[in-house]
Chains A and B, each alone.
Chain A
Amino acid sequence: KQEVTQIPAALSVPEGENLVLNCSFTDSAIYNLQWFRQDPGKGLTSLLLIQSSQREQTSGRLNASLDKSSGRSTLYIAASQPGDSATYLCAVRGYGGSQGNLIFGKGTKLSVKP
């Protein structure tokens, strides 16, 4: 059974720092991996989706990497801003009939202090 873990559960950094959020998964047979952002009281916003054949994806100040063999993904945020404060979740998707089934980690709550 696939399990997704995100460490740390919470992170506080001063504005301007570069930071890395970690995600690990137990079954390396994934179809793709997706990073989301969730603001308090809101739904999830998709940030990046990495296919299993890809090593990384970039969008603006965000860069997500994927190492399937080791069961790890990282989300790198450059030059963090207070507006980046949110909970970041990663989710993995399997093959076949479970392709629609995203397995989520519990998230890392990020606080960026001005």
Chain B
Amino acid sequence: DAGVIQSPRHEVTEMGQEVTLRCKPISGHNSLFWYRQTMMRGLELLIYFNNNVPIDDSGMPEDRFSAKMPNASFSTLKIQPSEPRDSAVYFCASSLNSADTQYFGPGTRLTVL
């Protein structure tokens, strides 16, 4: 298996622009997670899905952030409009079920100027 796939790997954009991050989980995994990592706050869960349904989005910072999972093999995290404080590394992870070992993608490094 190719593991969790994320795109793009790097994104540089200007404040106010829309940003879309993409994730393909490991085939057969029922749970998908979006995390954000910064030096100040470490690794934080933004949202997770079970069987394509959002279960816990309490970590989504504000309405500018939205996530979707239209099918079992694809998810997006969108930021609109983006702000400099959104600069971070965004990770996607998947697991067989929500309490099982999570497997992480390589991350998307987002820079908002």
Count of A-B contacts judged by CB separation below 8 Å = 54
In the complex, how many angstroms separate the beta carbon of B10 from the nearest chain A beta carbon? 10
Residue in contact with A105 in the complex, picked from B33, B42, B102, B106, CB distance below 8 Å: B42
Roughly how many angstroms separate A101 CA and B91 CA in the complex, as a whole number?
A: 14
Would you call the interface of chain B mostly helix, strand, loop, or mixed?
Answer: strand
Does A89 have its Cβ within 8 Å of any Cβ on chain B? yes
A107/B48 in contact, CB under 8 A: no
Once the chains bind, are B50 and A100 in contact (CB under 8 Å)? yes
Contacting pair B103 A100 (CB below 8 A): no
Separation of A45 and B3 alpha carbons in the complex (Å): 11
Q: List 29 A-B contacts (CB under 8 A).
A: A32-B99, A34-B101, A36-B104, A42-B107, A43-B106, A44-B43, A44-B91, A44-B102, A45-B104, A46-B101, A46-B102, A89-B43, A91-B43, A99-B98, A100-B33, A100-B45, A100-B48, A100-B55, A100-B56, A100-B99, A101-B45, A101-B48, A101-B56, A102-B45, A102-B102, A104-B43, A105-B42, A106-B42, A107-B42
Chain A residues proximal to chain B, CB less than 8 Å: 31-32, 34, 36, 42-46, 49, 89, 91, 93, 97-102, 104-107
